[in-house]
Structure 1
Amino acid sequence: MSQPSTQVIAIGNAIVDVMAPCDDALIERFGMTRGGMTLIDTDRAKELYAAMGPAREISGGSAANTLAGLAALGARCAFIGQVAQDQLGEVFAHDIRAGGIRFDTAARAGDPPTARCLIFVTPDGQRTMNTFLGASQYLPAAALDEAAIADAEILYLEGYLWDPEEPRAAMRRAIAAAKSAGRKVAFTLSDAFVIDRHGDDFRAMIDAGDIDILFANHIELASLTGQDDFHAGIDSLKDKVPLLVVTRSEQGAVAASGGKLYEVPAEPVAKVVDTTGAGDLFAAGFLYGHVNGRAIDECLTMGAVCAAEIISHYGARPEANLTELVARRLG
């Protein structure tokens, strides 16, 4: 098998995050699901945007955020995702390429516009996300560069993009391309609502051996396994996935591999400003350690360091030097 030129190639939603602080009363007034992610239509997007205070626009999307962290650490990365031929599409393409990530997917003409996520951040740092998927849900299988997928050490997929039919078919094709080339497939479950809709698909993929690395948080783990007890959930999956990684917010993270369990505490943070992207950047730190041959407990620590950096400021893209933070922590 040839040496891959790309370390991680990801397929995900190409989204621009529009973020603004708000009080709890606004969340209640508009009936938003506090701390969760809700898919919205065009009319709801306009209504919520009108209610936002001064906002920041930052390119986002779960898998793209993970790649931004990986690239900041020095990994060779590529992204596949659909934007429209509009201003936000140009913003997204510029931002991801400026981060050193290869992005060759052609922009889509006409409606719908580029996806955007309206994020309301309450004083405790919780983010309430309202996502208009727009053009991102029309990623066709024809947009895949199967040679690029075969030339990447890891194919990384986000569960959020499993919901629309067209990109779901594209991701199935991408998994087949990666597997036929002898590459690893990493999958992040993204949110419990995705599991509620597609859990049977995910469980079938796990049983078929299609997923080599599975990322989840403790809520998603319970939803996927039907086990409310955290350790029972781990036990039910640990022999089905070669590498299982589960985050537990302030309780740290756990990994299971080869019959062994690894655990690290959360890194200390002076103040939690915004939890947007914490799981995405945890995956970035973990995967960076993994593709560079670090031990699993070190990979977990690298993930925790990156997650701590991201929750200390607004936005899901790193602002501090992640390489320095990791080096300071691990030596």
Structure 2
Amino acid sequence: MSVADRVVVVGDVMTDVIVRPEGPLVRGSDRRARIESRPGGSGANQAVWLGSMGAKVSFVARVGAGDKPHLEAYFKGFHVDPILVADPQEPSGVLVILVDADGERSFLTDRGANLALEPSDMPVWLLDETRLVLVSGYSLFAEGPRRAVLQLAGEARSRRIPIAIDAASVSFLREVGVGTFLEWTRGMSTLLANADEAEALSGTGDLNEQMIALGACFERVVIKRGARGAAVGGRQGVRVDQPAPQVDVVDTTGAGDAFAAGFIAAELEGADEAECLRRGVEAGSKAVEHLGGQPTTTRIVLGPGRRGRRDDGRS
């Protein structure tokens, strides 16, 4: 793979504090729970999944100064080129994830240093070697990182480098307003959205109508539908619809990020849309089978007829 096949990912670095209560929360009292800390953040998840799939990826983010050395080592371990800016004041972000018995999750977010991302942090020099820029929508929901991302996006467009945007959060979309989000993302080529985000952005719950509406704003629309699989299309409607396999769901955190990585990694290898979609669904399905939003092994191979093979030989 040449340097021209590089993906530049821009997004958050978080520490995920995953809380799995033994039952419903008891207001004003105790509930036993299993609590674990894992590396997370939507952009970080996407970068690590891409690196583990063999893609050439650089990841841009801002972190607490004290965390930079060990985070750089961590990302390099997953074959990711980390372009991390050390913030001298703000700590790295923290996300508390409450996981229900069925694997669904709710979030409490303190984005910390991620909110201080600046235009000067953007590696414009790297665009000469870049095939695609992938942006986490979380970077658009605060003024500082939004200015940084939109500057990089403008430079990428001037070089005819496609930009994919992940809608990231239906609650934040509703907070800033659909029209505002679509204005920010004008000119970006691919939208990645889950079913709730697609409905909020399009104003309809019908998949084909979502594709047509959002296809007026993006060249390509990829909608992640959870247990129902995923679909890709545009202004003419759905082009390909891929079902998802039945799996034992442990934690849905990061499944959409794994999907995005699988889809993009396949595209970098020259796969058609149907295969990109299949690989994305396969990656997302693997992600929900373990706790946390990032892979548990540094090399993952996805391919026709396989459910994802680890390089240690275990299925």
Q: What percentage of aligned pairs have identical amino acids?
A: 25
Change (3 A) 1:285 1:277: same
Q: Quote the Cα distance in structure 2 between the aligned partners of 1:233 and 1:219.
A: 11
| 3-state DSSP of counterpart to 2:222 | strand
Paired position in structure 1 for 2:9: 10
| TM-score normalised by L of structure 1 | 0.85
Alpha-carbon contact 1:159-1:194 (below 8 Å) kept: no
Q: Note closer, same or farther for the CA distance 1:24–1:149 as it changes in structure 2 (3 Å cut).
A: farther
Structure 2 Cα separation of the partners of residues 307 and 14 of structure 1: 20
Whichever residue aligns with residue 304 of structure 1, its letter is V
- The answer for the alignment partner of 1:190 in structure 2 is 168
Q: Does 1:140 align with 2:118?
A: yes
Post-superposition Cα deviations, 1:281-312, rounded to whole Å, max 9, x if no partner, equal 00000001112210101000000110111100
Match of residue 104 from structure 2: 126
| Deviation at residue 23 of structure 1 after TM alignment | 3.5
Q: Distance in 2 between matches of 1:55 and 1:149?
A: 40
Q: What are the residue-to-residue correspondences of 1:253-272 with 2, within 5 Å? A: 253-257=230-234, 259=236, 261-269=239-247, 271-272=248-249
Q: Looking at secondary structure, tell me which structure has more helix per residue.
A: 1
Cα drift, residue 17 of structure 1: 1.1
2: CA distance, partners of 1:222 / 1:102: 35
Residue 219 of structure 2, aligned match among 237, 242, 246: 242
The equivalences for 1:1-331 within 5 A come to 4-26=3-25, 29=27, 53-87=33-67, 89-110=68-89, 112-196=90-174, 197-205=176-184, 208=186, 210-257=187-234, 259=236, 261-269=239-247, 271-319=248-296, 323-329=300-306
Count of matched residue pairs: 304
CA-CA distance at 1:241 after TM superposition: 1.7
Alpha-carbon shift at residue 276 of structure 1 (Å) = 0.3
Report the counterpart of residue 36 of structure 1 in structure 2.
none
The answer for unaligned runs of 5 or more in structure 2 is 309-315
**Partner residue, 2:311:** none
**1:7 maps to amino acid:** R
Structure 1 residue ranges without an equivalent (≥5): 31-49
Would the aligned equivalents of 1:23 and 1:122 in 2 still touch at CA under 8 Å? Answer: no
Give, in angstroms, the shift of residue 97 of structure 1. Answer: 2.2
- What is the CA-CA distance between 1:55 and the residue it aligns to? 2.9
Q: For residues 73 and 17 of structure 2, what CA distance do their matches in structure 1 show?
A: 16
Give the structure 2 partner of residue 41 of structure 1: none
1:186 touches 1:212 (CA, 8 Å); kept in 2?
yes
Label 1:128 to 1:153 Cα distance change in 2 as closer, same or farther (>3 A): same
Amino acid at match of 2:49: G
CA offsets 1:177-202 (integer angstroms, 9 cap, x no match):
11112211000001112211142233
Q: Report if the CA contact (8 A) 2:9-2:58 is conserved.
A: yes
2:63 aligned counterpart, secondary structure: coil
- Change in 2 beyond 3 A, CA 1:258/1:247: same
Note the alpha carbon deviations across 1:21-41, whole angstroms, 9 max, x for none: 213422x638xxxxxxxxxxx
Which structure is higher in strand share?
2
Which string of whole-angstrom CA distances, capped at 9 and with x for unpartnered residues, describes residues 184-241 of structure 1?
10000011122111422332245x4x11111001110111111233322222122432
**1:37 aligned partner:** none
TM-score scaled by length of structure 2: 0.89
